[in-house]
Structure 1
Amino acid sequence: MTGEDEALVALLAALKARDYQFVTPTNDTHRLVSWRLFQGTRHTLRDIFGWSRPFRDGDLEVEILALMREAGILVERGRRLSSALRVSSLGEDLFLHSAYPPRARDAVFFGPDSYRYADFVRQELGHANRIVDIGAGSGVGGIVAARVCPQAAIVLADINPAALRLARINAAAAVVSVEVIESNGLSKVTGAMDVAIANPPYILGSGGRTYRDGGDLLGARLSLDWAKAAMDRLPAGGRLLLYTGSAIVDGRDRLKAELEAIVSGIGAQLRYREIDPDVFGSTLMHPAYRRVDRIAAVGAVLEKPGSALPA
């Protein structure tokens, strides 16, 4: 780790020691609440690191401000300061991710999907020896998996170097050992694995932002590509835990139908359920979604036939 990375680990520890907690809402909610906060002069840790509110020198404790400077995340615009990163809480852990608004092509995502993904992994993981988090982002899936299976080797794979850097820092702050691999899907991941987990982007056409753009098929392409790649690589008894979104058109869930075709071709099993029937409703205003009823958050467990890898 670089000195800046170590300063970020220390910053997370300092925030945790101060009982910092912040649950990240949707961008729509953030815009509304941030506008309300702008009417006042609040400068709490949650305002600065959660709501991405500007502040002034003297509004923060000297220790926190010094760590921000050392980490290189203190943005200075005249007398106004802000943090280049946000910090969100999930259970006992804190996660660094991109400041609001996350518009950059390499922005690192954390939001309501992160909480649903974490719950899905907790519910479905079970025993595992080596777990690969495909498209790991800020590291939520892998870190939660390590909490469930402390004996398992954890691999965080992502195409975005900025995401991998924060995932590595978040894992260090959580005292979780991980292997970090820059990889487009599973292309650079080697070695055996018995469980793959994934929370791929699932929105069509999002300005090229890695954390949002799910490709064609109304955003389902990446979910299907990762599912096919995982099922090709997993051994007998191996499982893929896939949390994603599906555009429901005229009552039909095409993603479910495509996943059913994947598993039927190899004699595998699929368990599939809607976790939230209606997410990202504002996306339906995009012309490409004119025939879409709703976007559902879904969880799919794909399991290959046969016995799993020995423990």
Structure 2
Amino acid sequence: MKLSDTADTALLRFLSLLDRAGYDFVPVTPASHTRVLARAPKLEARTLRDVFGWSMPFAPDLLPPEMLELLEAAGTLSREGDRLKSSIRVGRIHNALIIHSAFPTEAEDAVFFSPDTYRFADFVRSELGRVGGVRRLVDIGAGPGTGAITAAPLLPGARLTLSDINPAALRIARINARHSGLDIETVEGGLEEVRGAFDVAIANPPFMIDEKSRAYRDGGDMHGARLSLDWSVEALRRLDPGGRLILYTGSAVVGGRDQLREALEREVAALGGSLRYRELDPDIYGEELAKPAYADVERIAAVGAVVEAAG
């Protein structure tokens, strides 16, 4: 894995500086982030966490000169009057620093990181504890690479392949992986672009109904569950015998029914596979229920599924 240019190398060096400074931040949901910023009497950063966590504008002399130079070389700073603002945010998860897009994530090619990322990583790691001798892991829709990066310590010697339709996400994933000391391969596109066999796939698909149809957020029909279903079926068809997909996603519950679970049970059985499925959190993103698209939804649940191919 090679970093492509001077900007990538600058971001890698920036991450090292941030790590040595003891930086730590847990990204929250967009709704929580908005509420926290609304408390500030004057929206101006005072700490590194304000700059690279809370995405606040800052005075140039707030940052160490070397850090400022690296961010300028990486092209990640914009000017707001006499203040600067970073276009990246950084979170820490399982002791790995992960660059992703700054708040608010409005762009079509935004690289997302949220509390779901923590649930996803924890679920993947808990399930990998049941698996031995993994040869190749494919992270489908990898985003900033968090899934594969946090799984890697449990997979000595495994080949790590990260796929995503967003080239900006793959670029960031390569930088994040290099900072964590990992050698990965990236594939632009969906699972259909991944060549060769694999015995484990992991995925955290978009699962919201997004009125702007942004790729990092929009899960399609079935109240946002379509991508989760489609990726699961495609992965099951591609897995080595006895291989498994570890899926973290969200599912809308309508009239007490989880339509993603019902659809997965049908599709997995038809392909001769097996399914384990459970709710990890019964109620997430409750603020979305105020939107017309969710008028018939009683709750959105965080769910974890393990789809296993026949041996």
Q: TM-score, normalised by structure 2?
A: 0.96
Q: Which amino acid aligns with 1:171?
A: A
User: Does the aligned pair in 1 maintain the 2:96–2:150 contact within 8 Å?
Assistant: no
Cα distance between partner residues in 2 of 1:82 and 1:278: 34
Give 2:170's match in structure 1, choosing from 161, 164, 171: 164
Q: Which amino acid aligns with 1:174?
A: S
- In the alignment, structure 1 residue 65 sits paired with structure 2 residue 64: no
Give 2:289's match in structure 1, choosing from 284, 295, 311: 284
Give 1:140's match in structure 2, choosing from 139, 146, 150: 146
How far did residue 67 of structure 1 move?
Answer: 1.1
Where does the alignment leave 5 or more consecutive residues of structure 2 unmatched?
Answer: none
Cα distance between partner residues in 2 of 1:39 and 1:32: 14
- In the alignment, structure 1 residue 149 sits paired with structure 2 residue 155: yes
CA displacement 1:89-148 (0-9 Å, x = unmatched): 102110111111000011000010000000011000222110000000010111112121
Cα distance between partner residues in 2 of 1:41 and 1:247: 38
| 1:1-311 correspondence runs (5 A) | 1=3, 2-39=5-42, 42-125=45-128, 126-127=131-132, 128-183=134-189, 185-306=190-311
Q: Secondary structure at the match of 1:217?
A: helix
Cα distance between partner residues in 2 of 1:14 and 1:274: 39
Q: Which amino acid aligns with 1:110?
A: F
How far did residue 205 of structure 1 move?
Answer: 2.7
How far did residue 194 of structure 1 move?
Answer: 0.3
Q: Which amino acid aligns with 1:223?
A: S
Range moving further from structure 2, 6-15 or 257-266? 257-266
Cα distance between partner residues in 1 of 2:240 and 2:203: 17
How far did residue 174 of structure 1 move?
Answer: 0.8
Q: Which amino acid aligns with 1:165?
A: R
What is aligned with 1:309?
Answer: none
Q: Secondary structure at the match of 1:164?
A: helix
Q: Which amino acid aligns with 1:181?
A: V
| Identity across matched positions, percent | 53
CA displacement 1:73-94 (0-9 Å, x = unmatched): 1212331101011111102110
User: Does the aligned pair in 2 maintain the 1:206–1:212 contact within 8 Å?
Assistant: no
How far did residue 35 of structure 1 move?
Answer: 2.0
Q: Secondary structure at the match of 1:101?
A: coil
Cα distance between partner residues in 1 of 2:280 and 2:297: 18
CA displacement 1:137-174 (0-9 Å, x = unmatched): 01011111212112110000000111111111110111
Q: Which amino acid aligns with 2:289?
A: L
Aligned residues: 305
How far did residue 291 of structure 1 move?
Answer: 1.1
Where does the alignment leave 5 or more consecutive residues of structure 1 unmatched?
Answer: 307-311
CA RMSD of aligned residues (A): 1.1
User: Does the aligned pair in 1 maintain the 2:43–2:56 contact within 8 Å?
Assistant: no
User: Does the aligned pair in 1 maintain the 2:43–2:57 contact within 8 Å?
Assistant: no
Change in Cα spacing, 1:31 to 1:15, as seen in structure 2 (3 Å) is same
Q: Which amino acid aligns with 2:249?
A: T
CA displacement 1:214-252 (0-9 Å, x = unmatched): 001100110111011001111210100010010000100
Q: Which amino acid aligns with 2:81?
A: G
Cα distance between partner residues in 2 of 1:37 and 1:123: 38
Q: Secondary structure at the match of 2:240?
A: coil
How far did residue 38 of structure 1 move?
Answer: 4.4
Cα distance between partner residues in 2 of 1:46 and 1:205: 29
Cα distance between partner residues in 2 of 1:225 and 1:42: 42
